[in-house]
Amino acid sequence: MAKDSYTGPLERVDDCLYRIPKGYKPGMRVEGRIFADGRLLEQIRGDQAPEQVANVAHLPGIQSASLAMPDIHWGYGFCIGGVCATDPEEGGVISPGGVGYDINCGVRLVRTNLALADVAEQIEQLTNRLFGRIPAGVGRGGPYEFAGKEMTRLLRDGSKFLKTKGLATDSDLEHTEAGGGFDDADPSAVSEKAIARGKGQCGTLGSGNHFLEIQVVEEICDQAAARTIGLELGGIAVMIHSGSRGLGYQVCDDALRTLRNAPARYGIRLPDRQLACAPVESPEGQRYLGAMRAAANYAWANRQLLMWQTREVFEEFFGKNWEALGMSLVYDVAHNIAKMEQHEVEGKVKRLCVHRKGATRAFPAGHPELPDRYRQIGQPVIIPGDMGRASWVLAGQPGAMQRSFGSSCHGAGRVMSRTAAIKHAQGRRIDRELAEQGIVARCRSWKGLAEEQPDAYKDVSLVVDVVHRAGLARRVARLRPLGVVKG
């Protein structure tokens, strides 16, 4: 095994679940559980992410188990793919490491009335047009700037503020998690440095694994759900993946500095200082939650503006307004966030702080937080894959409420670090390799494509298969990339 491989216990519970027993490390309050199957096990053992699952099990107030999704890989404090619910009434904590630096990094899917035949001969031109219009890359600003009172309103209200400026519709808000904004965000808890970093970045894609993709629906697994969502075989959709940019990064950085000594003040012993935390109901915990919610609102507004610019490009390219093109929002879901939610634990309904870091909400049919449109099928769960294979749309299942605090995977999951991916790409042209597969890829740098090459990721279909068989979310449709815009 590699030096950094996990060598601790992973006991098989069933076809889709492994456990780390509570007795593995002194101080674990609950066991660890990783949703996976034998095909993914070797990759999961390839880094120290399972060790992080065990470390999270030490957090005060943690409920049921420290959880990880099948796209698990190493992260800061928590693994990517980690889920943890804590009970404030039992001293439960909030930990910035359980949200991550890119607060409310998330995905939205836009359907269209277009078919593959409508874009097949023009995909390169359309991708180039999007690449020229959508601001992408490290530190790049965009056409929108928010400062002073406008920034305060953006942080307080998220996409709801954009509606007052004619940049969002009621339908857009209805089909965004939390209506596109937390009601209890606290802009005053966001530092001036964070605000300065976010001033001109709302409506920009950023870099790393963020992208905008033109996709074709290549497979329908659930006809009724796909029909409700608005997806048809051979139809064209657009997927947008981005987060809170420099503002969210700074909010996390500020919180980690503030909370560095909080565990000692509250008598909390941790196996990893990257798990810095504070009780949810403490002044420190409430301040971080207020700032995190404000950053999350910024992220929802960011994806809303990215979608708005995409609609404008399609309007110009096809000579029709976006409504005529059927460019409605399917759904927008966060995968780096902490939220207060109602969940049943051992027969008792509790109000819990659910951390999802690289994990997606997957509420089932009938859940009161879902739009009326999805009450019968469950929440759309949007799972991006790598830019050479596929992405998936799923629907939340009751099993998610029973087994994972209403959570699913969020993507394919890395199997190579960015450094390793760049080394693996030496002497290669990733854009040409993708072109041979019929995929047009545009990026600001060779390095950006090298870091995000398909080989750097697990096969998303294997990850989704585990989630489907585990009863967390069921497969609805598979979408293949046609045109990719990367930062």
Catalytic positions are: 410
β-bridge mates for residue 457, sequence order: 414
Within 13 A of 427's CA, how many CA atoms are on the CB side?
Answer: 1
Instruction: Check if the beta carbon of residue 203 is closer than 8 Å to that of residue 309.
Output: yes
Residue among 65, 18, 67 nearest 40 (CA): 18
Dihedral sign from CA coordinates of 293, 295, 299, 302: positive
- The Cα 398–Cα 280 span in angstroms is 27
User: How many helices (H) and strands (E) would you count in the chain?
Assistant: 17, 19
Q: Which residues make Cβ contacts (< 8 Å) with residue 483, sequence separation at least 6?
A: 123, 124, 126, 127, 130, 213, 214, 439, 440, 441, 442
Residue among 237, 234, 232, 230 nearest 215 (CA): 237
Report the SS3 class of residue 89.
helix
β-bridge mates for residue 478, sequence order: 219, 392
| Three state DSSP letters for 150-176 | HHHHHHHHCHHHHHHCCCCCHHHHHCE
Residue among 290, 277, 286 nearest 251 (CA): 290
- The Cα 109–Cα 199 span in angstroms is 26
β-bridge mates for residue 462, sequence order: none
Report the SS3 class of residue 33.
strand
β-bridge mates for residue 342, sequence order: 351
